[in-house]
Structure 1
Amino acid sequence: MATVGENVKAEENLEKKNLESLRMAVNREDPDAKDHDDLTLRRFLRARDLNVDKAAALFLKFLRWRREFVPKGSISESEILNEIAKEKMFGQGFDKKGRPISVVIGARHTCFNRDIDEFKRFLVYVIDKICSRLSGGQEKFVVIGDLQGWGYANCDIRAYLAALEIMQEYYPERLGKVYLVHAPYIFWTAWKMISPFIDNNTKKKIVFVENKRLKETLLEDIDEAQLPEPYGGKLPLVPIHQS
């Protein structure tokens, strides 16, 4: 019987072998693949459970999407002025694993005054901004989703599904953890509608935090000096475009 260490080694060897196969496959199909390092390819490989064919299809889809959706290489603030004005996304400190923290205020997003294409551009701008803060080999970030005051006006299923698609299809293995705080009872109606579209790996990273254990729970993973002020920490909220 193989030991735990032997199983881990075998898994690492399989990943290395499949990564080499993935590299050859995507380089053959799309010259832009050469602009992305092995760490990026590895995330796509892991997102498809080390299946080379599925990972290659996902990565090539990402390359096509990136060329079409972000033709200039990045989203400028001039393209998302309405979304920025709502100040619903914030860039914060880092958790104990060195993962960047962002905060989203759910009640500041409403379905009646948003343009879905601008919303998608804003999401890409935000994710790219957060990823630019990754360092030291860290590949993931964490999110505090604050749902205080969330109501029917904030229930935008189309936008939520768009966000899920962008995260799961184009930024696989970037999300480390999501803390959903101050979730009102009414939110569960929306959750039942969108949860079937969330893959199992992502679901495992979502934590609904009890109000009475809010600070205690967040402090398990985030030092008080790095925790945003609204949750009992020391850092003031900084809008994402200013972070």
Structure 2
Amino acid sequence: MRGPILRRLYLSAKFPVARYSFARPFSTYPEPKKASSFWTLTFTLAIVGGGAWLQNRYFNPEDTITSQAQLPQKPSLGVIDTLATMPAEPAPGTVGNLTPEQEVKLKEFWVLTLKVFGLTLEELEAPQSTTTSDAATPAPAQDKKKPKSRWGIWGRADDDDTKSGSSSGTTASVASISITDGDDKYGQSKEFKQALEDMKPEEIRTAFWSMVKGDNPDSLLLRFLRARKWDTKKALVMLISTMRWRLLEMHVDDDIMFNGEASAVKMSQDSNPKEKKKGDDFLTQMRLGKSFLHGVDRAGRPICVVRVRLHKAGDQDNEGLERFTVYTIETARLLLASPVETATIIFDMTDFGMANMDYAPVKFMIKCFEANYPESLGAVLIHKAPWLFSSIWTVIKGWLDPVVAAKIHFTKNRQDLENFIHPSQIMKELEGDEDWEYKYVEVPENENPKMADKETRDTLMAERQKLAKEIQDTTIEWIRASFKNETDAASAAEEKRKNLIDQLRKHYWVLDPYVRARSLYDRLNIVQGGGKINFYPDSGKESESTSA
């Protein structure tokens, strides 16, 4: 019995200590003293037994691999229009696949969000839910409808609001929302209240529509609702704290995406050592291909590959790692084609050693997906994890929300990967059939000429804000008619609203070259402009691209 266990540990775990200790028969070692022999044998059995238990506990493909029959066999290649709805069935709880109870929750969430924007909409409070559906939890007692006030273009404030002559009363009403049941892992209640203090309602409104980008605003709100199990108040806390994080902490849109790789090149040439290091750190990660976006899995989800062996703790400071992480996530958002709303990450653990382990960026990445990019992960594949990763995984798993942890799968070889990705779209580096390898294309001079045209950018931004205002007005009409059971008016408002959202999404791609520096994926012709994406531009299977 001992022989097969030892051979398994030697062949599959590839642990250096194991190779040294078990490569030769026990008889070839000098004969130890009796007591020493006992403890040596005990320690050896503990390692072997523990290793076998951990191997089965964490790396058992029967427990961690999704059945191939559950996923499409091969997604179509060629140009995909991210603005068009694909023929696939939307996932439950997403746009196009909402239960009546979930649609009510979406409307309730819109009312709360618009209140944060400074609008007084007490008349739009939803009637008390009578459903017991698990998909949409009934509103708690404190959500009971407030006394109605007279309706105006933007609603009418309560008496206190009218006396103050401002929207401060409305802001105060939502500022009282907090999470009190312990479900606040990242302290978002505090950040939510801080956002309402630090940011004016109009700033929050502008930040929201900036965060929407080319997405459907309903899809964005639904991400937060699903993440908070359809609790509208918890979803609001999460949404507003995320906007504060984007705007005031990470500066996602006004710095990371606006300046992009071209700014990193300029920083790398700076005479200031600190600035130069920031630029060099960012470009080093891009040039190495420490992580990159390539292709799609069987469900049509964009794939991000993280080559863990290329990371060395201390090579870059945490700020640089966080900037690179957010840049990659935000770029991946551009590759989502409706109804796909999530991505797949492959952590390639080939040749992983303890020098590659760095807990700080792991914690930051977990926080990103749990707190700031909810419902963005489709699957996480930890590929070829060595035996020594078992103890590390025990620590990491303790940090994860159970919903996120359930999306993590361990894969050992090509066959395991094929359960998630078609073999023709697994690159050879991962033992697949696709003859592709990562190569960084350097930033050419004057790559972003439109970003210097501030006048056109301001004009386009004003047009976008006007469209956003029209969507808000129509959303109010839609909700008011729905809650009053005015079926025809609700249907008309819903259709008008859908057309406005389509216009907003198309308009983003007109604005895009004025607010986002070009990326590697633009230079590779993967992001083709106008909402057109080609995941495999060199496949020879390109479709005809139509204009936006």
**Pairwise CA RMSD:** 2.2
Which stretch of structure 1 is more off in the superposition, 151-160 or 217-226?
217-226
Decide whether the 8 Å contact of 2:292 with 2:328 is kept in 1.
no
Q: Name the SS for the 2:114 alignment partner.
A: helix
- 2:416 pairs with 1:205: no
Q: Name the SS for the 1:178 alignment partner.
A: strand
Q: Name the SS for the 1:129 alignment partner.
A: helix
Q: How does 1:1-243 map to 2 (within 5 A)?
A: 12-29=99-116, 30-32=204-206, 33-35=208-210, 36=212, 37-68=217-248, 69=250, 70-72=252-254, 74-75=256-257, 76-77=260-261, 78=264, 80-210=282-412, 214-231=413-430, 232-238=432-438, 242-243=520-521
Query: Aligned equivalents of 2:377 and 2:437: distance in 1?
Result: 20
What do residues 25-67 of structure 1 show as CA deviations (whole Å, max 9, x unaligned)?
1222131335530101101110111111111100001111111
Measured after TM superposition, the shift of residue 114 of structure 1 is: 1.5
Decide whether the 8 Å contact of 1:86 with 1:109 is kept in 2.
no
Decide whether the 8 Å contact of 1:90 with 1:237 is kept in 2.
no
What do residues 58-105 of structure 1 show as CA deviations (whole Å, max 9, x unaligned)?
000111111121251643121522432432112211112111112110
Decide whether the 8 Å contact of 1:181 with 1:208 is kept in 2.
yes
Decide whether the 8 Å contact of 2:290 with 2:311 is kept in 1.
yes
Which stretch of structure 1 is more off in the superposition, 141-150 or 68-77?
68-77
1:3 aligned partner: none
What do residues 110-157 of structure 1 show as CA deviations (whole Å, max 9, x unaligned)?
112111011111011101111211113210111111011111111111
Say how many residue pairs are matched.
Answer: 233
The aligned amino acid for 1:26 is: T
Decide whether the 8 Å contact of 1:90 with 1:103 is kept in 2.
yes
Query: Aligned equivalents of 1:156 and 1:110: distance in 2?
Result: 8
Q: Name the SS for the 1:172 alignment partner.
A: coil
Query: Aligned equivalents of 2:411 and 2:421: distance in 1?
Result: 14
User: TM-score normalized by structure 2?
Assistant: 0.40
Query: Aligned equivalents of 1:204 and 1:47: distance in 2?
Result: 14
Decide whether the 8 Å contact of 1:89 with 1:239 is kept in 2.
no
Measured after TM superposition, the shift of residue 239 of structure 1 is: 5.4
What do residues 177-223 of structure 1 show as CA deviations (whole Å, max 9, x unaligned)?
0111110112122212221111111111100113xxx2122222222
The aligned amino acid for 2:317 is: D
Query: Aligned equivalents of 1:174 and 1:237: distance in 2?
Result: 26
Q: Name the SS for the 2:110 alignment partner.
A: helix
Measured after TM superposition, the shift of residue 225 of structure 1 is: 2.2
Query: Aligned equivalents of 2:99 and 2:439: distance in 1?
Result: 40
Query: Aligned equivalents of 1:222 and 1:139: distance in 2?
Result: 17
Q: Name the SS for the 1:42 alignment partner.
A: helix
Decide whether the 8 Å contact of 1:93 with 1:235 is kept in 2.
no
Structure 1: state its 5+ residue gaps: 1-7
The aligned amino acid for 2:428 is: E
Q: Name the SS for the 2:382 alignment partner.
A: strand
Query: Aligned equivalents of 1:186 and 1:234: distance in 2?
Result: 30
Query: Aligned equivalents of 1:128 and 1:206: distance in 2?
Result: 21
Decide whether the 8 Å contact of 1:91 with 1:237 is kept in 2.
no
The percentage of counterpart residues that share the same residue type is 26
Query: Aligned equivalents of 2:244 and 2:360: distance in 1?
Result: 23
Decide whether the 8 Å contact of 1:100 with 1:134 is kept in 2.
yes
